[in-house]
């Protein structure tokens, strides 16, 4: 498909650094499943970045992505508006989430991770599960997609670091409470590495399987570059083709944190050039 066909149908801004783009990509929308991602390059000079699919509409032929402007590329993309075009929008990539009727499933979302848990939440609810969503933000002003999550959640718990909305504290606080109160059959956690690791540690003693979505630095998204290597139970896997979903109890989070720092110098240089 010609890159000029990837038109931005809708844009919403949730905070000074968080925004949503609904992109016209009928072939991607037709094949998308919960848990998958796309590789995006917004123009000829831009880098390719992986973005988890936050929603898809097969009839409309659109795919929704939610982005946090933290680096040069994502800040450049925040300048795009409805009617603008994205050059490359490749996908869906990665293994789809394994959805079945298990019983009670808890969905943990931190920050930007709130968006990608949505298609999984919807799929698990439609499969007959009882669903509980626990999502965390720094403060009330950063809360988004509350109504979307409510639609498919039997119970929705919102936490904020400063207590300005919902419960004050971390997402792991209500998670630990629920683990002690009732039988939980599965936990799905998507968010910052530190949050996903904390969720996996909270469920370990309860022996509740915990799925985390790993989004390490990717270059090609098809397993050829090897840049997204992760160690799972002592074995090397590639997040782009073997994931992004993995059992959080057997992920080497320490190694992954170190690998995420590989291009800090290059990113800093790019940001300095952008400011000139």
Q: What is the CATH number of the domain that holds 26?
A: 2.40.30.10
Residue 239: the pLDDT is 86
Does residue 230 fall inside a structural domain?
A: yes
pTM greater than the 0.85 cutoff: yes
Domain boundary among 72, 93, 114: 93
- Based on the domain organization, do 81 and 113 belong to the same domain? no
Instruction: Look at residue 273 and tell me whether its pLDDT is greater than 80.
Output: no
pLDDT of 91: 93
Is 266 within a domain?
Answer: no
Mean pLDDT for 122-144 is: 96
Q: How many domains does the chain have?
A: 2
Per the prediction, the chain carries an average pLDDT of: 90
Looking at the structure, tell me whether residues 244 and 115 fall in a common domain.
yes
Domain boundary among 47, 74, 93: 93
- Give domain status of residue 245, yes or no: yes
Residues 113 and 235 in one domain: yes
Per-residue three-class SS string for the chain: CCHHHEEEEEEEEEECCEEEEEEECHHHHHHCCCCCEEEEECCCCCCCEEEECCEEECCCCEEEEEEECCCHHHHHHCCCCCCCEECEEEEEECCCCCCCCCCEEEEEEEHHHHHHHHHHHHHHHHCCCEEEEEEEECCHHHCCCHHHHHHHCCEEEEEECCCCCCEECCCHHHHHHHHHHCCCCEEEEECCHHHHHHHHHHHHCCCCCEEEECCCCCCCCCCCCCCCEEEECCEEEEHHHHCCEEEHHHECHHHHHHHCCCCHHHHHHHHHHHHC
37 closest CA partner among 53, 21, 19: 53
Of the pLDDT bands very low, low, confident and very high (cuts 50, 70, 90), residue 66 is very high
As given in the structure block, the two tokens for residue 59 are 């009839």
Whole-angstrom Cα distance, residue 191 to residue 260? Answer: 14
Mean pLDDT within 91-107 = 96
Phi/psi zone of residue 207: left (φ > 0), alpha (ψ -120 to 50 degrees), beta? left
Q: Is residue 271 situated within a structural domain?
A: no
Cα gap 13→18, rounded to integer Å: 6
- Domain membership flag for residue 51: yes
pLDDT for residue 186: 98
175: tokens are 């998670």
> How large a percentage of the chain has pLDDT more than 70?
89
What is the mean pLDDT of the segment spanning 1-19?
83
Closest CA to 147 of 14, 11, 237: 14
Whether 146 and 16 share a structural domain: no
Residue 265 forms part of a structural domain? no
pLDDT at 63: 98
Segment of 73-77, 138-142, 153-157, 226-230 carrying the highest mean pLDDT: 153-157
**80 vs 228: which has the higher pLDDT:** 80
274 assigned to some structural domain: no
Looking at the fold, whether 81 and 170 belong to one and the same domain comes out as no
Q: Return the higher-pLDDT residue of 214 and 224.
A: 214
Q: What percent of the chain has pLDDT over 90?
A: 75
Tell me, yes or no, whether 111 and 74 share the same domain. Answer: no
Same domain, 190 and 251: yes
Is residue 198 in a domain? Answer: yes
Range(s) of the domain holding residue 219: 104-259
Do 156 and 45 have their domain in common? no
Same domain, residue pair 168 and 226 = yes
What CATH number does the domain containing 181 carry?
3.40.50.80
């Amino acid at each position: 498909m010609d890159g000029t066909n990837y038109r931005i149908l809708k844009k919403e801004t949730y905070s000074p650094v968080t925004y949503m783009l609904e992109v016209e990509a009928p072939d991607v929308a037709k094949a998308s499943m919960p848990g998958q991602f796309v590789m995006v390059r917004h123009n000829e000079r831009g880098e390719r970045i992986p973005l988890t699919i936050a929603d898809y509409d097969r009839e409309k032929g659109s795919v929704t992505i939610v982005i946090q402007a933290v680096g040069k590329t994502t800040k450049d993309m925040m300048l795009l508006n409805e009617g603008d075009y994205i050059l490359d929008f490749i996908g869906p990539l990665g293994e789809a989430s394994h959805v079945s009727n298990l019983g009670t499933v808890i969905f943990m979302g931190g920050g930007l991770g709130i968006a990608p848990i949505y298609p999984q939440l919807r799929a698990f609810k439609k499969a007959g599960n009882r669903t509980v969503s626990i999502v965390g933000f720094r403060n009330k002003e950063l809360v988004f997609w509350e109504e979307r999550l409510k639609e498919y959640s039997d119970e929705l718990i919102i936490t904020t670091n400063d207590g300005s909305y919902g419960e004050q504290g971390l997402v792991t606080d209500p998670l630990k409470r629920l683990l002690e109160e009732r039988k939980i059959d599965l936990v799905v956690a998507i968010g910052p590495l530190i949050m996903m690791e904390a969720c996996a540690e909270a469920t370990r003693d309860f022996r509740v399987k915990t799925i985390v979505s790993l989004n390490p630095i990717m270059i090609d998204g098809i397993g050829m570059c090897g840049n997204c290597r992760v160690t799972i139970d002592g074995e090397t896997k590639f997040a782009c083709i073997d994931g992004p979903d993995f059992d959080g109890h057997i992920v080497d989070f320490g190694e992954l944190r170190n690998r995420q720092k590989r291009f800090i110098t290059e990113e800093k240089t790019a940001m300095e050039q952008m400011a000139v």
